[in-house]
Amino acid sequence: MQCPECGSFHKHKYGMTCSCKYKFVTDPKVYGFGDKRIKNAVAKLSEGDSYFTQEELYCKCFKRKSLTGALVLSTIMLIAGLVFYMALSVDSSAGAPPAFMGLICVVIAPLILLVSYFNLNKSDDNVVEAVNAYVRKYYPPNLLKTEKIKDSSFKQLNYEDFMPDHFLVVDCKETLAQLLTNGFHRDNNCLIMTSDKFPKKAFDFYKLTKQKNPATKLHLFHDASLGGDMIGNNIVADSSWETNLEDLIDLGVRTENLKKTKKGIWRKELELAFHKNKEGFISEKLNGGWKYMIDSLPQGRLLALLGFAFETKLPLLSDEFHQAYLENKPAADPHYYGSDGGYDDFG
């Protein structure tokens, strides 16, 4: 395994310490990868002093098998086979050994590709456990986790001075903290709270605003799951919100739109799975209690597109949102679509 601190390679067993005093957490023989992958993912997510959730870290470390290594190895084997046969043609007295070695190389090369092809859609099975173990040992400074987040992290500006244009309800504290620490509330002049009315001060200010202006809308943002689809209904059923379905704007991600994207990652407890835009796959995951994580979408892109959703009032991943984005993209600010694919990277 490679030490993420000094870069040297070791054959240490699990739990051993590098000569530079770094203590390994993940054993490649158990997890299929080592600490270096997790540390690299942390560095990437922290670029620009960005804050990220633990589910984002799971997704960043979750990899598909690749054919690249198999293609390189197969090519080397074929070249080796060709060299053996050329050597035999130059010196026929070399006899059976070169011919036999050449035959082995030619036979093994396609077998390597065949085995790799069947493993192509297989992915890491123990990413959640590996990341959890790493986080317990080396807690990344920019990682957002509910029990680690101080109350001060949830403080927004004085609402009376802030005068938000929008009220946004998210489904968990991690998403709330992610949006606040990355300045989403400032960039989009919105007050953010969770569906269980946290922080209380934010919910109280919303209620005061709602009483003064009954037409005040609530925007919703959540993972795609059967429970996520019900957030709006649950809010309406709670009389303390003093609202109705007509005053809710669901910005997604709604399960009905999942078949329109090929990207994303699902989670159920310790299991992760890559998304497939097939109705049978989606139904199986939803009915099995899985959720499609908004954390699996690129953070910078996600925040920009969520801001665009505020402007259009259209749910992410929907055909209407996609069309509105494409129509406005040429005149839009570059931060909405970046330089590496824009909406297509979102799905």
Q: Residue 213 belongs to a domain with what CATH number?
A: 3.40.1360
Are the CB atoms for 251 and 309 separated by under 8 Å? Answer: yes
Looking at the fold, whether 205 and 89 belong to one and the same domain comes out as: no
Looking at the fold, whether 310 and 177 belong to one and the same domain comes out as: yes
**With bands split at pLDDT 50, 70 and 90, how would you rate the model's confidence at 236?**
very high
Looking at the fold, whether 157 and 93 belong to one and the same domain comes out as: no
Integer Cα distance of 266 and 59 in angstroms: 9
Does residue 299 sit within a domain? yes
Does residue 188 sit within a domain? yes
Looking at the fold, whether 309 and 188 belong to one and the same domain comes out as: yes
Cis peptide before 107 (omega within 30 of 0): no
Give the pLDDT score at 33.
Answer: 83
**With bands split at pLDDT 50, 70 and 90, how would you rate the model's confidence at 271?**
very high
Map tokens 């005068």 to a residue: 163
Looking at the fold, whether 79 and 189 belong to one and the same domain comes out as: no
CA–CA distances in Å: residue 41 to residues 67, 83, 91, 148: 22, 41, 53, 20
Residue 163, pLDDT above cutoff 90: no
Give the pLDDT score at 217.
Answer: 95
Looking at the fold, whether 215 and 295 belong to one and the same domain comes out as: yes
Does residue 287 sit within a domain? yes
Give the pLDDT score at 331.
Answer: 47
Does residue 45 sit within a domain? no
Of 100-109, 226-235, 274-283, 292-301, the range with the lowest mean pLDDT is 100-109
Are the CB atoms for 192 and 184 separated by under 8 Å? Answer: yes
Does residue 94 sit within a domain? yes
Domain boundary among 76, 103, 118: 118
Across residues 193-207, what is the average pLDDT? Answer: 91
Give the pLDDT score at 34.
Answer: 84
Looking at the fold, whether 213 and 105 belong to one and the same domain comes out as: no
Does residue 163 sit within a domain? yes
**With bands split at pLDDT 50, 70 and 90, how would you rate the model's confidence at 282?**
very high
pLDDT: which is higher, 256 or 20: 256
Give the pLDDT score at 87.
Answer: 60
Give the pLDDT score at 174.
Answer: 87
Integer Cα distance of 275 and 253 in angstroms: 14
Share of the chain above pLDDT 90, in %: 36
Report the side by side order of strands in the sheet with 265-268. 271-274, 265-268, 291-292
Chain segment 124-156, per-residue pLDDT in tens:
678 999 999 999 998 898 888 766 555 555 665
Integer Cα distance of 40 and 305 in angstroms: 26
In this structure, what token pair is assigned to residue 308?
Answer: 């665009």
Integer Cα distance of 73 and 79 in angstroms: 10
Map tokens 């159920």 to a residue: 268
Looking at the fold, whether 176 and 272 belong to one and the same domain comes out as: yes
Residues 6+ apart with CB under 8 A from 297: 263, 264, 346, 347
Looking at the fold, whether 215 and 102 belong to one and the same domain comes out as: no
Domain boundary among 118, 138, 160: 118
pLDDT: which is higher, 84 or 191: 191
Give the pLDDT score at 347.
Answer: 44
Number of domains in the chain: 2
Across residues 74-83, what is the average pLDDT? Answer: 67
Dihedral over Cα of 6, 11, 15, 21: its sign: negative
Looking at the fold, whether 206 and 273 belong to one and the same domain comes out as: yes
Does residue 240 sit within a domain? yes
pLDDT: which is higher, 37 or 18: 37
Looking at the fold, whether 78 and 209 belong to one and the same domain comes out as: no
CA–CA distances in Å: residue 267 to residues 37, 128, 284, 290: 20, 10, 13, 6
Looking at the fold, whether 245 and 192 belong to one and the same domain comes out as: yes
> What residue numbers bound the domain in which 96 lies?
68-118
Give the pLDDT score at 23.
Answer: 83
Does residue 217 sit within a domain? yes
